């Protein structure tokens, strides 16, 4: 099970991602703003952080570095509305791991989450093993 945070000022526009992630057995929390995510009770150890591009557009790209500092091991995924390579490069240059279109095929998201879930499970097992030795 992964701890997943979705930062979206308009979560009603895309509630299917949260529902889908919960259906896969993950803990999902929401925050309306980047600042809320960092200071509220939702501030915990997140494995995946989804950030709406609209939030970054209104709050500023510098929030990516604040989120990265708070959860350095988390996978940061920006959910965008537009398929613009320039915008994707700009967002990724600030430390985002992936840029996904909100309207894209959700099977891509499933593959990404499953891959990270396996990676997290392997990391957890190896850290447990190293502590036992």
What is this structure's pTM? 0.80
Q: What is the pLDDT of residue 25?
A: 92
Domain that holds residue 95: 3-132
pLDDT score recorded for residue 76: 92
Residue 129 has a pLDDT of: 39
Residue 99: its H or E element: strand 98-101
Q: What are phi and psi for residue 113, nearest 5 degrees? A: -65, -45
If pLDDT is split at 50, 70 and 90, which confidence band does 62 have?
Answer: confident
Q: Residue 11's pLDDT is what? A: 60
Q: How many domains does the chain have?
A: 1
Predicted confidence (pLDDT) per residue in 79-129, tens digit: 887 788 888 888 888 889 988 887 766 777 888 888 888 887 777 655 533
Average pLDDT over residues 30-47: 80
- Exposure on the CB side of residue 122, measured as CA atoms within 13 A: 6
Q: Please state, rounded to an integer, the average pLDDT across all residues of the chain.
A: 80
Asked if 38 and 66 touch (Cβ cutoff 8 Å), the reply is yes
Query: CATH number, domain at 69?
Result: 3.40.50.2300
**CA 72/CA 65 separation, integer angstroms:** 9
pLDDT at 43 exceeding the cut of 80: no
CB 30 within 8 A of CB 8: yes
């Amino acid at each position: 099970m992964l701890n997943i945070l979705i930062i979206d000022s308009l979560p009603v526009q895309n509630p299917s991602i949260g529902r889908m992630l919960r259906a896969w057995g993950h803990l999902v929390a929401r925050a309306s703003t980047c600042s809320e995510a960092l200071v509220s009770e939702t501030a915990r150890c997140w494995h995946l952080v989804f950030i709406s591009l609209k939030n970054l557009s209104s709050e500023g790209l510098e929030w990516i570095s604040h989120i990265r500092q708070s959860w350095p091991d988390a996978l940061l995924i920006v959910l965008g509305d537009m398929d613009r390579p320039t915008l994707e490069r700009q967002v990724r240059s600030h430390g985002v791991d992936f840029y996904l279109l909100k309207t894209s095929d959700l099977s891509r998201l499933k593959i990404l989450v499953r891959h990270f879930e396996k990676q997290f499970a392997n990391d957890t097992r190896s850290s447990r093993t190293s502590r036992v030795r």
